Structure 1
Amino acid sequence: MQLFYAILFFISFLLLSLMCLLFKRGNLKDKRLPPGSMGWPYIGETLKLYTQNPNTFFSTRQKGYGDIFKTHILGCPCVMISSPEAAKIVLVSQANLFKPTYPPSKEMMIGPEAIFFHQGDYHSRLKKLVQASFLPSAIRGSVSEIEKIVLRLVSSWENTTINTLNEMKKFAFDVAIISAFGGRSDLETEGIKHLYNCLEKGYNSMPLDLPGTPFRKAKKARKLLNERIKKMIKRRRESQKKGGGLLGVLLESKDHKFNNLSDSQVADNIIGVIFAAHDTTASVLTWILKYLHDNKEVLEAVTREQEKIRWAVKEENRGLRWDDTRRMPLTNRVIQETLRAASVLSFTFREAVQDVELQGYLIPKGWKVLPLFRSIHHCADFFPQPEKFDPSRFEVPPRPNTFLPFGNGVHSCPGSELAKLEILILLHHLTTMYRWEVVGNEDGIQYGPFPVPKKGLPLKITARSKKTISAKIN
């Protein structure tokens, strides 16, 4: 009799489970896809997105379809979302339903073991290691090293015309190298820099694996870069001291079974950190100089703030310190407003791991989901007069989930504090010692892939007169 009831219970449980599954599927079928256009076959709306101002692309579709709409870009069906509430669901509260994803060609260029492409235990372990390397307590000792890079770089700009984006890439790369490897070894890092430049060109090109294409050259550079970094890993593993930077942290790490990360895991994450710390920071710095150039009153206010710090540093006959960078509230607001106005990271990619209902619409399993940071940052409901460059708007904290320059949730950028630190140090020396003028009258934006001023913002850099500096300080 007990066996009979056990079998009856088991059958009832199976039937109930099946009914729940069918009910759920029926409910999902009843849900409709978000409105929108899928564009041309395969190409979709990719060309429209990457050849016009993204503000225009997003706002046109929002007006026509609302805050959630479908499209087709980079060969993938996508759902774009532009409300803070929906972004929070995808990135935070139901992040387990939306895994981070990149186009396969880009994943190959960075490395499949990099933190960006994973969830679960492996991601959690790496996130803790990377975060530990970029906490304020870990990066505060980098101020003097970053300042040396700044002083060397800005002195080479004096009385010359620079391509701002290219120069900022040099700066961001040098800082990324310190963060990744600790102490500098110019012979090693010059080789890495050359290979990374080849890799970057291919990363941002069409993935055509044909002889002579940037993509084919980048694949070769990626292989050589991997070999070079693995040689560094081998030397450090054989040494009693694992060295500084993120590389040292990754080499020292052991999991709960006392296993080290493999060479491939370490190499992919080092390349990933350089990638994350390079393009975006360089683009943000380019925009900051553009906005300060176009808003002279803001530039002068920042200069006054920085001159007070410079005077104290000069009086004590020392270099810039971590504590000095904590006394730059206006400059910090300029950085925040640039991150909002420029929105260098227009969106991020996620992928639905199962059929998901979002705000009454169905997102099928495998579809990409793109929270639109740019649309949220340029919404007048959250940021009045969004086209105006106004750092004072950050005198009060923005509404939750409306300011997302570094993403949100478990996959938010762990290097945000380092990025802000290097920007503060550069602005300290640049605003107090130099002035800049845009060369030419061509205005506008180019995309490669991040939005930057056209032609990389050519600037003529000139030294401020010592009389002006002295008068301002006194």
Structure 2
Amino acid sequence: MDGILPYIILTLLTIFAFMFLTNRIRRRRRNQTRARLPPGSMGWPYIGETLQLYSQDPNVYFSTKQKRYGEIFKTNILGCPCVMLTSPEAARFVLVTQAHLFKPTYPKSKERLMGPFALFFHQGEYHVRLRKLVQRSLSLEALRNLVPHIEALALSAMKSWADGQVINTFKEMKKFSFEVGILTIFGHLEPRLREELKKNYRIVDAGYNSFPTCIPGTQYKKALLARKRLGKIISDIICERKKKKLDERDLLSVLLNWKGEGGEVLSNDHIADNIIGVLFAAQDTTASAMTWVVKYLHDEPKLLESVKAEQKAIHKFNGDNLPLSWDQTRNMRITHKVVLESLRMASIISFPFREAIADVEYKGFLIPKGWKAMPLFRNIHHNPEFFPEPQKFNPSRFEVAPKPNTLMPFGSGVHACPGNELAKLEILIMIHHLVTKFRWEVVGSKSGIQYDPFPLPLNGLPARCWRESST
């Protein structure tokens, strides 16, 4: 036995040595094939490159990064490690084909103001259910019926634009889009409740992008208190609607009338959170888009004349008595191309926030679990490969449909904006009455841009308006 022991020990040592070397080789091969982080700079601790992004033109910031690092690069924005993706294929990967690997994500401070049940914060079955309900209230048939009501709101908004008066274009468009949002959600709401909603919503809106502190007197604290009041107002409207048993087609009625297979219904909190979420989504982005359309038309006199000719032909056909029809809004070919080009040029949503729920590999690069994956719509919209001379405002480029996943002003996939057709309808109706009833001149700087947080012409595009003497 003593003579065998050395051989046993030697054999075991040989086996252990073989296993050790084999594991090292496997580990080395695995490390060689394992996806690596994309190139890029993470900037300063915590703040990363947030200051660089928000202190310069995002077109310059993102295009510089892409030229230096390629179509995939890493950075740190708002304290979050991010992987930026600048190709249509990457956008489709994150937002469509592999959307289940990326969840929408928002700061908790913003979630508290909108409400945790808003569909924007969810994915899976709950998100699908709520999205279908929102889409039902914004179907093409529903929008067809809204055309005369939206037109009435546009005309009402313009009543205060006296001859020679300077208006803040963005603020005026924001008032209009808010009224359209109220109409879409509640139908014809009594004036007292509309004013209460408007007053408290303005406070919430003002605190939405403020520093999130609960110290009394701060904008954010005021916004939280106003959000509670908004919830109470909506709850009162829900109770009144239930008593009257009205059969309306607005979003509130759609949410109230939903019943699950087991007879479950949406609570008042679920309904309130989604109503406030839709109000948020419907306002600033649409108002910003309308403001950019006004600017681009002002800057392109020949194009403005073409749009005027198209809209005046419609106005002449209708006269002073007939309202716009749904079919007319669907056949504003020149104006529709102007809207698409404005959305491309302005790229109001530069990128969506998505968070990887697991380690994800894309084109040999790693998107670690917990990191943000952000398709850069702005880079795609301004890529000369898809849009020649991208800095030139040229609506005629949309005489041919753009390549798939190259124009995404409303996002893409399961989290794309469900109100995109409503937004375009609002813009078309507003343009119709603007160009047939007014002429305008931009006051002050004609080239500056501000970010609040969406890109806007400087100071909200102050403009002096005059009513046309004849149409």
Scaled by the length of structure 1, what TM-score is found?
Answer: 0.91
Give the aligned partner of residue 286 of structure 2. Answer: 281
Please give the residue correspondences for 1:77-92 in structure 2 after superposition, counting only pairs within 5 Å.
77-92=81-96
Structure 1 pair 445–28 and aligned structure 2 pair: CA distance change class (3 A): farther
Offset, 1:242 = 5.3
What CA distance in whole angstroms lies between the structure 2 residues aligned with 1:81 and 1:196?
Answer: 35
Task: Find the counterpart in structure 2 of residue 357 from structure 1.
Answer: 361
The aligned counterpart of 1:3 is none
| 1:437 match: secondary structure | strand
Measured after TM superposition, the shift of residue 262 of structure 1 is: 1.1
1:239: how far off?
3.0
Residue in 2 aligned with 1:60? Answer: 64
Match of 1:418 among 417, 422, 430: 422
Residue of structure 1 in register with 2:371 after alignment: 367
Q: 1:438 touches 1:457 (CA, 8 Å); kept in 2?
A: yes
User: Displacement, 1:323?
Assistant: 1.4
1:182 aligns with 2:187: yes
How do residues 359-398 of structure 1 correspond to structure 2 at under 5 angstroms?
A: 359-398=363-402
User: Structure 1 residues 199-208 or 53-62, which shifts more?
Assistant: 199-208
Mapped partners of 2:235, 2:33: distance in 1: 50
Deviations 1:231-267 (CA, angstroms, capped at 9, x unpaired): 1112222332254410000000011212111111100
Match of 1:194 in 2: 199
Match of 2:170 among 147, 165, 168: 165
The residue aligned with 1:206 is: 211
Residue identity opposite 1:346 in structure 2: S
Partner of 1:51: 55
1:428 lines up with 2:454 in the alignment: no
* CA shift in 2, pair 1:304/1:263, >3 Å: same
User: Partner amino acid for 2:403?
Assistant: R
Of stretches 70-79 and 164-173 in structure 1, the one that deviates more from structure 2 is: 70-79
Deviations 1:188-236 (A, max 9, x none): 0111111111111111222233232211111111111111111111222
Amino acid at match of 2:176: F
CA gap 1:99/1:417 in 2 versus in 1, 3 angstroms: same
Q: How does 1:135-174 map to 2 (within 5 A)?
A: 135-159=139-163, 160-174=165-179
Cα shift at 1:184: 2.6
CA distance in 2, matches of 1:105, 1:29: 40
The structural deviation recorded for 1:95 is 0.5
Match of 2:349 in 1: 345
Distance (whole Å) between structure 2 residues aligned to residue 68 and residue 123 of structure 1 = 29
Greater shift in the superposed pair: 393-402 or 321-330? 321-330
TM-score when normalising by structure 2? 0.92
Size of the aligned set, in residue pairs, is: 445
From 39, 44, 51, give the equivalent of 1:40.
44
Q: Is the 8 A contact 1:242 1:251 kept in 2?
A: no
> In the alignment, what sits opposite 2:6?
none
Identity rate, percent: 56
Aligned equivalents of 2:248, 2:404: Cα separation in 1: 40
Q: Distance in 2 between matches of 1:51 and 1:149?
A: 37
| CA deviation profile, 1:129-155 (whole Å, cap 9, x unmatched) | 111111111111111111111111113
- Alpha-carbon shift at residue 385 of structure 1 (Å): 0.5
Q: How does 1:292-307 map to 2 (within 5 A)?
A: 292-307=297-312
Tell me how far 1:27 sits from its aligned partner.
Answer: 6.1
Whether the aligned pair in 2 keeps the contact of 1:113 and 1:264 (CA below 8 Å) is yes
- In 1, Cα distance between equivalents of 2:94 and 2:438: 44
| Structure 1 gap ranges (5+) | 1-18, 470-474
Do the aligned partners of 1:434 and 1:462 also contact (CA within 8 Å) in 2? yes
Work out which of the residue numbers 267, 271, 291 in structure 1 matches 2:272: 267
Q: Is the 8 A contact 1:28 1:357 kept in 2?
A: no
- Please tell me whether the aligned partners of residues 236 and 243 of structure 1 are also in contact (alpha carbons under 8 angstroms): no
CA contact (8 A) 1:202 1:218 kept: yes
Indicate the residue corresponding to 1:95 in structure 2: 99
Distance 2:79 2:32 in 1: 25
In structure 2, the CA distance between the partners of 1:441 and 1:99, relative to structure 1 (3 Å rule), is closer
Contact 2:186 2:251 in 1 (8 A): yes
SS of aligned partner of 1:462: strand
Q: Give how far 1:26 is off.
A: 4.6
Larger Rg: 2
**Distance (whole Å) between structure 1 residues aligned to residue 160 and residue 326 of structure 2:** 25
Q: Secondary structure at the match of 2:75?
A: strand
Paired residues of 1:86 and 1:359 also in contact (CA < 8 A): no
Q: Label 1:206 to 1:370 Cα distance change in 2 as closer, same or farther (>3 A).
A: same
* Equivalent residue, structure 1, for 2:9: none
Task: Check 1:366–1:296 CA distance in 2 against 1; reply closer, same or farther (3 A cut).
Answer: same
Asked whether the equivalents of residues 142 and 249 of structure 2 are also in contact (C-alpha less than 8 Å), the reply is no
